[in-house]
Structure 1
Amino acid sequence: MRDIVDDLLRVWHSGRTGGLATVVRTVGSGPLSVGSAMLVDPNGGVYGSALGGSVESAVREAAVAAARTGRRAMHRFGVPAGESGGDAGGMIDVFAEPFSRRDFPEFPTVASEIASHRRVTVFTVVWNPDEDLIGQHLVTDKRHNTELVALPESDVFVSSFAPPPRLIIFGANAIASALNVQARLLGYRVTICDSRDDVAESEAFPGAEVVVDWPHRYLNSLSSEGEIDSSTAIVVLSNDPMFEIPLLTVALRLPEFGYLGATGTQASHNRRIADLRAGGFGEMTMARLHSPAGLDIGARTATEHAVAIAAELLATKSGRSVRIHPEQADVIHAERAFGAETSVAL
């Protein structure tokens, strides 16, 4: 549902009724994950996860029928092998309900919490002997898995929206701008920190939070406020030891983070590692640092470097081992690709 919140709000504020279909259970090689949702607005526009083929048509019709009749019901659809991506096919259970101010009066609260990056969980009764209870919603801030829960006299679908993972980029430059775009497409909340107020301007980084502060001080403050966790990614785009080493010193002492990468040439990497060793960091600790950051895809432009870093971030998140020996990575971070852009003073 997260990807169609704005569309849902538009229908809610219109005072009209749309149809909302949510995948609450999958069996076999289903094409969508539990929690995927499709909205059909009052004009027939379709928003949300696309299944393709006959299943998408069936889910759309269920949503249209819910909007037209006001009936809330569970539907089971078989997914042919050719449409599921697997050889055996699959099955999905979908809950279809009308969506409007009257049907979901609590929805603006849900939308506000999601927009504010706060946890929110929606409990929806999808089956009960008393039909008047089907479609009732309860909104809380409690942590819960997104799943279908079978109770003695009810089936309840729990849809939990955790705050999005966070990417903190240190260095306001062309790579930061391109990486901001990549990361937001991947669902990250992006913060860009730079000590220079003349380059750290919000207009240059649409959709990102821009902070003017000393990098190591800002990271320290986030850590002390409990803002860094196992989903947080940190990318350092400065090669100036004056800024980079204090920042990496703070970062490597964090108890947890999801990804830590530092860009630069092979010479920058060698100097960086030597400085960190001199600061007392051992090999096991420095193994947490991806340096030079980014997969070896032959990147040369800022956009290509952003793709390389985003790909490595995703590989790390999924537990894939894709690192190459630093001496083989020099082409990724060749100085001629950026000139002065690579050595950014924060």
Structure 2
Amino acid sequence: MRDIVDDLLRVWHSGRTGGLATVVRTIGTNSLPIGSSMLVTPNGGVFGSIASGRLEETVYEAALEAGRTGARQLRRYSMLTGVESSADDGTLVDIFVEPFSCRDFPEFPTIAADIQAHRRVTVFTVVWNQDPDVIGQHLVTDRKHATELVALPESDLFVASYCPPPRLIIFGANAYAATLVAQARMIGYRVSICDSRPEFADPASFPGAEVVVDWPHRYLNTLAAAGEIDNSTAIVVLANEPRFEIPLLTVALRLPELGYLAALGTPADQARRLEDLRAGGFDEPTLARVHVPAGLEAGPRTPAETAVFITADFLASRAGLRLSAQRDYGSRAAVGMAI
């Protein structure tokens, strides 16, 4: 639902009724993320996706019907045939379809506001009950919970938990930062950019990102003190200037939790960087965490290519993988560290 919040709000405020389909359980497959949603607007438009091919077409019709008739149903489909099935063919998916409007889901603007403000919110939806009038009721809480289908003696509840998105903090406001913002937002990251130069840190140049004018190490210390850095946080340093990056990297390397750290620069920049950090008291085991983001035989050339390269590296790092390949040392490269 997170990726179609704005579309849901438009339907909600229109006063008309659309249809909403949500994946609540998979059996024998993990190819469909639990909680994936598809909105079918009153005009038949589609936002979001839950699958592809025949199944998506079938669910589209079910959501369209829910919007037109008000029916709320938990439906089981075969991933192989794309049609409703009660037989266990090894790949089944349960999808809840319901009408969506300001009358059917009066609590939704509160949920949307929490998601957009990066606050935790959990939505409980009754997807099955012996009393049909109970099906489709929603309960909203700020309690942490796993996203899952919960089977109770008299009801099935789908619990959709929306945690604050993972965060990418970019230090250095430039063309590389602009393209990296776009890449990171596509994969669901909340992005902040920090630069001490107000003439470069123009919010209009970085749509979708929070832009902060401050010294990098001071801003990172502020975030850490506020408890806003955790093991899902990614940091990319694009300010390839010792007076900015060495104090910043010194703070970053001492954080108790951090998901990923990368700094843009050539091998010569990296050699100088490591020498400065050694002089600051960092030992070899700590510095040995530094690795060159890889996956290509030659380094990226443009800011857009560099953004793809860095994004792939911190996603691999988040999954516990490490990319490796030869580097064209004549190009600008991203030097990363998985923590």
- The TM-score normalised by the length of structure 2 is 0.92
CA distance in 2, matches of 1:81, 1:252: 51
Give the drift of 1:329. 5.3
Instruction: Name the aligned partner's letter for residue 101 of structure 1.
Output: C
Give the drift of 1:50. 4.7
Residue in 1 aligned with 2:207?
206
Residue in 1 aligned with 2:65?
65
SS in 1 for 2:217: helix
Moved over 3 A (4+): 287-290, 292-297
Give the drift of 1:110. 0.6
Residue in 1 aligned with 2:239?
238
Cα–Cα, structure 1 residues 14 and 300, in superposed 2: closer, same or farther, change >3 Å? same
Residue in 2 aligned with 1:105?
106
Give the drift of 1:24. 0.3
Residue in 2 aligned with 1:7?
7
Residue in 1 aligned with 2:179?
178
Residue in 1 aligned with 2:337?
none
CA contact (8 A) 1:30 1:92 kept: no
CA distance in 2, matches of 1:196, 1:77: 55
RMSD, aligned CA:
2.0
Give the drift of 1:61. 1.6
Give the drift of 1:29. 3.1
CA contact (8 A) 2:21 2:59 kept: yes
Give unmatched runs, 5+ long, in structure 1.
336-346
SS in 1 for 2:5: helix
Superposed CA offset, 1:133-159 (max 9, x none) = 111100111111110001121110000
Residues 13-24 of structure 1: pairs in structure 2 closer than 5 A = 13-24=13-24
Instruction: Name the aligned partner's letter for residue 299 of structure 1.
Output: P
CA distance in 2, matches of 1:304, 1:112: 34
Give the drift of 1:160. 0.7
Residue in 1 aligned with 2:263?
262
CA distance in 2, matches of 1:50, 1:95: 12
Give the drift of 1:80. 1.1
Instruction: Name the aligned partner's letter for residue 99 of structure 2.
Output: P
Residue in 2 aligned with 1:154?
155
Give unmatched runs, 5+ long, in structure 2.
84-88, 335-339
Give the drift of 1:52. 2.1
SS in 2 for 1:255: coil
Cα–Cα, structure 1 residues 120 and 334, in superposed 2: closer, same or farther, change >3 Å? closer
Instruction: Name the aligned partner's letter for residue 329 of structure 2.
Output: D
Residue in 1 aligned with 2:47?
47
Give the drift of 1:31. 4.1
Cα–Cα, structure 1 residues 30 and 268, in superposed 2: closer, same or farther, change >3 Å? closer
Residue in 2 aligned with 1:77?
77
CA distance in 2, matches of 1:162, 1:26: 21
Instruction: Name the aligned partner's letter for residue 53 of structure 2.
Output: G
CA distance in 1, matches of 2:301, 2:170: 19
Q: Alignment length, in residue pairs? A: 328
CA contact (8 A) 1:295 1:309 kept: no
Q: Which has the higher mean CA deviation after the structures are superposed, 237-246 or 108-117? A: 237-246
Instruction: Name the aligned partner's letter for residue 316 of structure 2.
Output: A
Instruction: Name the aligned partner's letter for residue 315 of structure 1.
Output: A
CA contact (8 A) 1:294 1:332 kept: no
- The TM-score normalised by the length of structure 1 is 0.90
CA distance in 1, matches of 2:313, 2:215: 26
SS in 2 for 1:245: helix
Residues 188-337 of structure 1: pairs in structure 2 closer than 5 A = 188-290=189-291, 292=292, 295-296=295-296, 297-323=298-324, 328=327, 330-333=329-332
Instruction: Name the aligned partner's letter for residue 156 of structure 1.
Output: L
Instruction: Name the aligned partner's letter for residue 242 of structure 1.
Output: R
User: Which has the larger share of helix?
Assistant: 1
SS in 1 for 2:265: coil
SS in 2 for 1:145: coil
Cα–Cα, structure 1 residues 329 and 228, in superposed 2: closer, same or farther, change >3 Å? farther
CA distance in 2, matches of 1:148, 1:288: 40
Q: What fraction of aligned residue pairs are identical, expressed as a percent?
A: 64
Give the drift of 1:302. 1.3
CA contact (8 A) 2:171 2:193 kept: yes
Instruction: Name the aligned partner's letter for residue 330 of structure 1.
Output: Y
CA contact (8 A) 1:294 1:305 kept: no
